[in-house]
Each structure stands twice: as C-alpha cells, then as structure tokens.
Amino acid sequence: MKSSRQIDGKGDENLNPPLLKGGAEERIVFDNVTLGYIEKPVLSDINLDIFRGESIGIIGPNGCGKTTLLKSLVGLIRPVRGRITVFGEPVMSARRQIGYVPQRETLDISYPATVLDMVIMGRYARIGLFRRPKSLDRKRAEQAIADVGLTGHMHVPIAHLSGGQRQRVLIARALSADPEVLLLDEPTAAVDVRAQREIVALLKTLQKERGLTILLVTHDVNLIYPMVDRILYMANGQVFIGTPQEMLTQEKLQRIYNANVIITEAAGRIFVIVGDVHHG
C-alpha cells in the first residue's frame, strides 16, 4: 500500500508515523486518502499530518498532484477514499478557516475592479454571495490590503498593477476572510526576482503575525527554503515529508527539474543550482 513517508535525519525512509503534537484539533490530517478518479488516482493512500502553525513547501514534478492536494483542502476535489480533517473538522465544515490563493493566471485583469473590490470578494464566503458587505467586511478587507502593503493602491484598478502587486491582491483576498490556514499555488510564478523575494518575506511576516498554517506550492526551493518548516515532496502518487535538509537531495531535485542539479551549502543553508534540461 502506498503512503506518505517521514524521512529521518539520515535520509532513510521511516514508515512509522511522526510523534503527534497535540490532538486532531491541532492538525490537518489526511487519513488513507486517495485523490483523483477511481480509474486513475493522482495520489493514493496518503497518510499525512500537518501541525497548526507550520509552514509547508510543496514540490514535485509537473502533474504529480500538487494543485490537487490544495484543492482537496477547500472541498473543490473530494477524496475517492479516505478522510481529510482540518483541526478536527471535516473539510466542508472547515472551509471558512481556509484561505486559498490560486495561480495568478486565474485573476481576470479585464474585469473592471479596484483592489478593494477584488479583496472584499474574499468576504463572500462569510457574508453570502448575494448579501451586501457591511462595515465590518470593509474593515477586514482594508486590513488585509494594509497587511500586504497595498493601502496606497486600494482604489486602483487591478489592470493597472504590476504582476507582483496582483499577486498581493490575491493574498489579501484570501486574508480578508480571517483564515487560520493559507494555501498558495505557486505564488511567486511569473513575477520578477524582487517581487518573488518580497512575497516570501510577506508570507513569513503574515505567518508570524496572524499565526497562520501555510501550505505553499513552488518550483523554486531556494526561494522558500528560509521560511518553511518542512518540505512535502510528491512523486508517483506518493508524498514524502521532512525538513528541508532531509528532502533537498540531488536525486529528488533532478527528478523535479529534469535537469542536472548541484546542491551546495553556504552560510548554514542549502542552495540548489539547476543546469541544462535533458529531454527524453
């Protein structure tokens, strides 16, 4: 049977589950979960515990199920088998505790909306789709905008923003609902290097200030290495989880990037250098 696996400090797979920190109300739990389709599962027999307040980086080859995993936590994809609970509640009951930041390509910049218009939409899960936002909803949206550093752009149309600013709008929209868990699907993709670093620094600050549990899908392990507690590596329908030092091995990274990979260490942290891509 396939399952998620802990990786011990020596790099060997340890099939025993980790020591649990607190009860189910302190964890996101995947209990023997299969996601995808009955005929063709994407992820099979996953057993996984993510602790309240953790920051998890999710890496893996294209098509391995990273987005599927995130969508299962907001009820957009339901398990074929098994059960997912979020801090002791079934996913559908816990949805209000979860903020979801999809890939930036999902943001329609042709829509004539300002930053405030877009962010206040994140409150609709709480107030109802056809109800008018109240003063509290506006206050929460304005606070989320301030938290991502866009107060001065509150009434600017989203079409006039840079790529990095639009990504911040998506983060603010998720934050406006006051979530306990923040899911982000490649939040640093398609933005420049400076914006990437600013987004990662922002997420690190938000985690500390709001006490968030963060799950972040990425292809850039160098960027997220300083902010994550553990890395979830996905391949062939399985998930493997461990500290960054345990998970960032040459074998795994070459599989992700389909390229030669050099791993080096400087100033107490790991750096990954990706070479030419080899097709075949």
What pTM was computed for the model? 0.84
**Rounded Cα–Cα distance for residues 262 and 275 (Å):** 8
| Distances 95 to 2, 85, 230, 273 between C-alpha atoms, Å | 27, 11, 23, 38
| Distances 191 to 114, 176, 195 between C-alpha atoms, Å | 20, 23, 6
Q: Under DSSP, is residue 182 helix (H, G, I), strand (E, B) or coil?
A: strand
Range(s) for CATH 3.40.50.300 in the chain?
5-248
* Residue linked to tokens 């995808």: 36
Contact (Cβ atoms closer than 8 angstroms) between residue 238 and residue 78 = no
Q: What is the dihedral of CA 118, 182, 244, 193, to 10 degrees?
A: 10
Instruction: Tell me what the mean pLDDT of segment 205-233 comes to.
Output: 92
Higher pLDDT, 278 or 68: 68
**Rounded Cα–Cα distance for residues 199 and 129 (Å):** 29
**Rounded Cα–Cα distance for residues 57 and 9 (Å):** 18
Q: Under DSSP, is residue 172 helix (H, G, I), strand (E, B) or coil?
A: helix
How confident is the model over 264-275, as pLDDT tens digits?
877 777 788 877
Tell the CATH superfamily of the 5-248 domain. Answer: P-loop containing nucleotide triphosphate hydrolases (3.40.50.300)
Confidence band for 279, pLDDT divided at 50, 70 and 90: very low
How confident is the model over 11-42, as pLDDT tens digits?
334 333 444 556 778 999 999 999 998 788 99
